[in-house]
Amino acid sequence: MESVKIHKTAIIHPNVKLGPGVEVGPYSVFGPDVTIGENVIIGSHCVIEGNTTIGRNSKIFTGVVLGSAPQDKKFNGNGDVSLLIGENNVIREYVTINLGTVEGGGKTVLGNNNLFMAYSHVAHDCVIGNNCVMANNASLAGHVTLEDNAVLGGLTGIHQFVRLGRLSIVGGLSRVVQDIPPFSTCVGYPAKVYSLNYIGLKRANIPLETINRLKKAFKILFHSGLSKSHAFESIEKEVEPCPELEHLIFFAKTSKRGLCS
């Protein structure tokens, strides 16, 4: 394939599907069920295996391992499991991302325009939206969900089945064992809600009127002393609705692990 550049030391299984413009660095190894979209650039010493699909224009740096078996004792290598990576993702040095498991739905899914900094880890059956950032050494256990524009600080650990809401940010060195509300700033061991993510909301061009409504809702939800059910009732009575507020309430009501305090 004339438009593909593969270093002579790379080992590419003949069944691998490579889009036009793909570049593969020295000593990288691809298994038979790998599909790579156009203009993907892959550095040296990368291993891509399993049923893994990578969307176009992604950049993958040295030592990355994608599509490896889940770190789950129940996993026996059987079943239809996969790793689906969207477009325009940047995956930095030595990141590891596992396949899904049959019990968890079979898929680990990454959206578009995400940044995974060096040594970060995404475990089996995680679902990551768009425009998320995982800083160095941040780690997701299995079945974790990151909604769009979520940000994780370095050395942060996320417990299995936890959800991180849209436009939330978690400070470095945090231990997250409960759901992180959308639009929040959290940090700690364990992580706690400290405030609204004002900077993230402004960068996302959320109107000031909406930000003020969310601020009022946060005060009721986290600082009023009301039970969650009574807080929801109070918010619905006192705060004018908007899509962002509706998402916050829906996220909180559907939380299975409970919200960070």
Q: Is 80 a catalytic residue?
A: no
- One of 45, 121, 124, 247 is an active-site residue; which one? 124
Phi, psi at residue 221, to the nearest 5°?
A: -70, -35
Q: Is 171 a catalytic residue?
A: no
More confident residue, 74 or 213: 213
Residue 1 has pLDDT above 60, yes or no: no
Averaged pLDDT, 36-62: 98
CATH 1.20.1180.10 in the chain: give the residue spans: 202-253
Class of the CATH domain delimited by 202-253: mainly alpha
Residue 219 has pLDDT above 70, yes or no: yes
Confidence of residue 78 (pLDDT cuts 50, 70, 90): confident
Cα 144 vs. chain centroid, distance in angstroms?
8
CATH topology of domain 5-143: UDP N-Acetylglucosamine Acyltransferase; domain 1 (2.160.10)
Confidence of residue 2 (pLDDT cuts 50, 70, 90): low
Of the candidates 148, 149, 167, 170, which has an alpha carbon nearest to the alpha carbon of residue 159? Answer: 170
Helix (H, G, I), strand (E, B) or coil at 168: coil
> Please, is 99 exposed, middle or buried when counting C-beta atoms within 10 Å of its C-beta (0-12, 13-18, 19+)?
buried
Helix (H, G, I), strand (E, B) or coil at 255: coil
Helix (H, G, I), strand (E, B) or coil at 249: helix
- One of 142, 153, 157, 165 is an active-site residue; which one? 142
Averaged pLDDT, 45-54: 98
Please provide the average confidence, as pLDDT, over all residues in the chain: 97
Confidence of residue 101 (pLDDT cuts 50, 70, 90): very high
Of the candidates 137, 118, 138, which has an alpha carbon nearest to the alpha carbon of residue 62? Answer: 118
Q: Is 7 a catalytic residue?
A: no
CATH 2.160.10.10 in the chain: give the residue spans: 5-143
Residue whose tokens read 């291993």? 47
d(CA 226, CA 261): 12
- One of 55, 100, 111, 125 is an active-site residue; which one? 125
pTM strictly above 0.85: yes
Percent of the chain with pLDDT over 70: 99
